[in-house]
Amino acid sequence: MENLEVLHNQIRLLVLVLAGLAIIMGFRKAGLKIIQSTLLMAFFSPFLMALVSQIPLWIVIPCMLFLVGLLFKATIGEEAWGHFFGAILYDVLWRFPLRIFGAIGRGIRNLFHQILD
């Protein structure tokens, strides 16, 4: 984790150009939030690298996911974030376990069919 960067320098420039384009196209609030978050990431990147290198990975991953969620929430808005997060929770908590149980059930069914045939 020595070379941890949230955005590479060239990609950071591209993000800033796209944020400026968003402002020109009329998405002023979203563009300014993208610029603000990009500049904050550029400023806090050295501090985060020092901190993350000392913390275990099982703590770092949920914290990073939380920060990315906050960034998306600030960028796309409260209501859109609610719909997005609800869809993700539905997939993770409902559809994924049902697919696992379905796969296990199909495996058991196929096993019994192989035994009986």
What are the pLDDT digits (tens) for 79-115? 888 888 888 888 888 888 888 998 998 988 888 888 8
Which residue range forms the structural domain that includes residue 116? Answer: 78-117
pTM score, whole prediction: 0.45
pLDDT at 24: 92
| Domain identity same for 71 and 83 | no
| Domain identity same for 61 and 83 | no
What's the pLDDT tens digit per position in 16-70?
888 899 899 998 888 898 888 888 888 887 887 787 788 888 888 888 888 888 8
| Domain identity same for 69 and 101 | no
Task: Report the distance separating Cα 22 and Cα 39, nearest Å.
Answer: 16
36 and 13 Cβ atoms separated by less than 8 Å? no
Q: Work out how many domains the chain is built from and give that number.
A: 2
What's the pLDDT tens digit per position in 80-90?
888 888 888 88
23 and 74 Cβ atoms separated by less than 8 Å? no
| Domain identity same for 58 and 34 | yes
pLDDT at 7: 61
Task: Report the distance separating Cα 74 and Cα 33, nearest Å.
Answer: 7
pLDDT at 2: 47
* Closest C-alpha among 62, 59, 64, 12 to residue 40: 12
| Higher per-residue confidence, 70 vs 2 | 70
